[in-house]
Amino acid sequence: DAGVTQSPTHLIKTRGQQVTLRCSPKSGHDTVSWYQQALGQGPQFIFQYYEEEERQRGNFPDRFSGHQFPNYSSELNVNALLLGDSALYLCASSNRDRGGTGELFFGEGSRLTVL
């Protein structure tokens, strides 16, 4: 049973560029959430997708957008990259009916470096 998988694991971009990160949820899960984790900080909630729609959003600008596909996988897109976007981007999956503080499964993340 595959857990949450994310790609790529590492990538380097320059300021102003755009990036797309991908996530496949754990088998049986239908909800995907994205988190940004800066160095030395805890993860910060970006947004959540369920039934291919954004359901909740944290305090992130519109440069951060996402998508969920019919197979429940998801993408996180960040436009006009800033140096401050350098972070570990984590995807977490859950089942809608069970999603909550005890039912999130995280991937190992995509480490983005913006130069």
Partner 1 sequence: LAKTTQPISMDSYEGQEVNITCSHNNIATNDYITWYQQFPSQGPRFIIQGYKTKVTNEVASLFIPADRKSSTLSLPRVSLSDTAVYYCLVGPQTGANNLFFGTGTRLTVIP
Question: Residue 10 in 3-state DSSP?
Answer: strand
Dihedral sign (CA 34, 58, 102, 66): negative
Segment contacting partner 1 by CB under 8 A, of 12-20, 28-36, 62-70, 76-84: 28-36
Segment contacting partner 1 by CB under 8 A, of 13-21, 37-45, 60-68, 71-79: 37-45
Of residues 81 and 92, the one with the C-beta less far from partner 1 = 92
Examine residue 87 and tell whether it contacts partner 1 (CB under 8 A): no
Segment contacting partner 1 by CB under 8 A, of 12-20, 66-74, 76-84, 102-110: 102-110
How far, in Å, CA of 115 to CA of 52, rounded? 32
Examine residue 48 and tell whether it contacts partner 1 (CB under 8 A): yes
How far, in Å, CA of 104 to CA of 115, rounded? 32
Examine residue 43 and tell whether it contacts partner 1 (CB under 8 A): yes
Examine residue 5 and tell whether it contacts partner 1 (CB under 8 A): no
Supply the DSSP string of 29-74, one letter for each residue.
--EEEEEEE-TTS--EEEEEEETTEEEEE-S--TTEEEEE-TTS-E
Give me the residues that bind partner 1 (CB under 8 A), please: 4, 31, 33, 35, 40-45, 48, 56, 58, 88, 90-92, 94, 97-109, 111
